[in-house]
Amino acid sequence: AMKCAVNYAFVNRAVMTKWIRDSFEQVFKKDWESMDMKTVYGIAHNIVKLEEHKIGGKGRKVYVHRKGATRSFPETPVLIAGSMGTASYLLKGTETAMEKTFGSSAHGAGRVMSRATAIKKFWGETVREDLEKQGIIAKSTHPKVLSEEAPQAYKDVEAVVETVHQTGISLKVARMKPMGVVKG
């Protein structure tokens, strides 16, 4: 079942990438290759992977289940998402992560409330207006999907990133602020 879910997610990302490239080609009247629209990095989170790690000084093959986490292998990109209204971060993985966390890091700020609670607490149009006041354009199929992802439903991404940086699990490279949000 896990492999099916991973395959589905991979195909989903490939289809979205194609649609984005097609849209750019239509708007800019150039092919995507000439615009250098390559996938820079693709990785799954919330997955089980068979990996080799040192345990008790010996290399062993083990299944690593990353739930709410992503890989943080040395010198590889690590992405930690904030919310629709906060920054997200690009970090790099470290040897420390390999030693302490089976090469894992947080993959996002994490929720402070469930989607169901957020839907009851926040009104989608108000969320959209609040984002627009910050200069963030929000498009959605229905206001409800903005409610469940309201920025207030998430932990402080700055604290999460500072924690993984200070512990040496992942090191900060760049802070990215949202300009637009698309929710289906």
H or E stretch including 17? helix 2-28
Give me the DSSP letters along 103-160: SEEE-B--BSS-HHHHHHH--HHHHHHHHHHTT-EEEESSHHHHHHT-GGGB--HHHH
Q: How far is it, in rounded angstroms, from Cα 162 to Cα 168?
A: 10
Annotated active-site residue in 65, 107, 142, 165: 107
H or E stretch including 119? helix 115-121
Q: How far is it, in rounded angstroms, from Cα 14 to Cα 20?
A: 10
Q: Which of the 8 DSSP states describes residue 135? A: T
Q: How far is it, in rounded angstroms, from Cα 177 to Cα 68?
A: 21
Active site residue 45: no
Active site residues per annotation: 107
